[in-house]
């Protein structure tokens, strides 16, 4: 393995050792080549993410314009910009449906292993999403919230014609930040800190790809996107 790749991987784990890890879409193993761009639309639908203890659960629907750039043949930068909402229910906090607000994210993927003859690949990824919905007034109190949503994942894939299914695992810690009446900021932590990722890419033609992936254990979620390569 090239020394530059080892150096970047070491930086990833250094960052993780000094920070919290969260959960987000993984993009699959289809990284763009050096100097190439892949862009498109992605919907990220979190149907249920159980929080710790008496904190209930979170739902969030997010919509993004995605862009991936091949910095090197084995290193790709991923960025996203869009909108998202947050819905909290259960637990000791009131049920609140926050309106749609700004959402964005960034990350990168490292192509650890590539066997073109066997049509197999493996990637290591780190991704982050931040969602900032509108404030809501409930029972005479003003509630503000945001989601911090990161993920480190390891995925492997094998191509079968136009299909490229992928499977892997992730380390995650999904948190909701909130405050009431502009008071002290609090964080609500998740019940689980890891999960499984399963998905598939399908090439509509040589430049246009559909990707779908699901997350399980830590959350019940579905991500789907349409991407163009050039």
Helix (H) or strand (E) holding 7: helix 3-17
Measuring CA to CA, how many Å separate 108 from each of 28, 77, 115? Answer: 12, 4, 21
Predicted structure pTM score: 0.83
User: Is the distance from CB of 174 to CB of 195 less than 8 angstroms?
Assistant: no
* Residue 217 Ramachandran class (φ > 0 left, ψ -120 to 50 alpha, else beta): left
**Residue 93 included in any domain:** yes
181 vs 14, higher pLDDT: 181
- The tally of CA atoms less than 13 A away on the side-chain side of residue 132 is 6
The pLDDT mean for the chain works out to 87
CATH number of the structural domain spanning residue 113: 2.40.160.20
Tokens representing 114? 């590539």
Q: Residue 107: what pLDDT?
A: 93
**Residue 218 included in any domain:** yes
**Residue 2 included in any domain:** no
Q: Residue 2: what pLDDT?
A: 57
Banded pLDDT at 124 (limits 50, 70, 90)? very high
**Residue 16 included in any domain:** no
Q: Is the pLDDT of residue 13 over 50?
A: no
**Residue 7 included in any domain:** no
**Residue 11 included in any domain:** no
Mean pLDDT across the stretch 81-106?
Answer: 91
- 100: domain range? 21-163+170-229
**Residue 9 included in any domain:** no
Banded pLDDT at 12 (limits 50, 70, 90)? very low
**Residue 70 included in any domain:** yes
Q: Nearest to residue 127, comparing CAs of 83, 170, 85? A: 170
How far apart CA 230 and CA 220 sit, in angstroms, is 33
Q: Residue 1: what pLDDT?
A: 54
Q: Is the pLDDT of residue 45 over 50?
A: yes
Name the domain count of the chain.
1
């Amino acid at each position: 393995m090239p020394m530059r790749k080892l150096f970047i991987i070491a930086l990833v784990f250094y960052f993780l050792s000094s920070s919290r890890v969260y959960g987000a879409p993984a993009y699959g193993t289809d990284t763009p080549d050096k100097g190439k761009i892949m862009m498109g639309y992605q919907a990220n639908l979190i149907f249920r993410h159980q929080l710790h203890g008496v904190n209930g659960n979170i739902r969030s629907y997010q919509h993004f314009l995605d862009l991936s750039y091949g910095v090197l043949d084995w290193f790709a930068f991923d960025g996203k910009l869009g909108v998202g909402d947050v819905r909290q229910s259960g637990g000791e906090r009131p049920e609140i449906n926050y309106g749609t607000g700004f959402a964005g994210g960034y990350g990168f993927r490292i192509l650890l292993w590539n066997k073109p003859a066997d049509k197999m690949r493996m990637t290591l990824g780190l991704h982050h999403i931040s969602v900032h919905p509108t404030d809501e007034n409930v029972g005479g109190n003003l509630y503000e919230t945001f989601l911090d949503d990161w993920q480190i994942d390891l995925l492997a894939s094998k191509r079968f014609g136009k299909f490229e299914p992928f499977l892997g695992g992730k380390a995650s810690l999904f948190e909701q930040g909130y405050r009431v009446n502009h008071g002290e900021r609090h964080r609500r932590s998740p019940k689980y800190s890891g999960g499984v990722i399963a998905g598939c890419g399908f090439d509509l033609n040589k430049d246009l790809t559909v990707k779908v992936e699901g997350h399980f254990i830590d959350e019940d979620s579905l991500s789907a996107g349409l991407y163009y390569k050039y």
